Amino acid sequence: MGEQAKKWLIEQMKQNHISPEAIADILEISLENLHVGTGELLDADDFLRICAYLHIRPEDIPIG
């Protein structure tokens, strides 16, 4: 996923009082893939797993 999607997910994590580090640890996702500006992409599987963990419907993400 692109930087815009990662920014939105990070904001959702903050609103749910969950750190990216905790998400990375719980879901076994590379922390570099979660951070904006690293040049690393978040693959679709990891993106959907984060959405499920945060109880977010992917189609509700305001991208575009």
Structural domain boundaries, residue 21: 3-60
Residues 10-60: tens digit of each pLDDT: 999 999 999 999 999 999 999 988 888 888 888 999 999 999 999 999 888
Cα diameter, the chain = 29
Q: Which two tokens stand for residue 26?
A: 């719980």
* Number of domains into which the chain is organized: 1
Number of Cβ within 10 Å of residue 44's Cβ equals 10
CATH number, residue 48: 1.10.260
Task: Give this prediction's pTM.
Answer: 0.83
Q: Got the DSSP string for 13-52? A: HHHTT--HHHHHHHHT--HHHHSTTSSPPPPHHHHHHHHH
Q: Give the pLDDT score at 63.
A: 67
Strand, helix or coil at 54?
helix
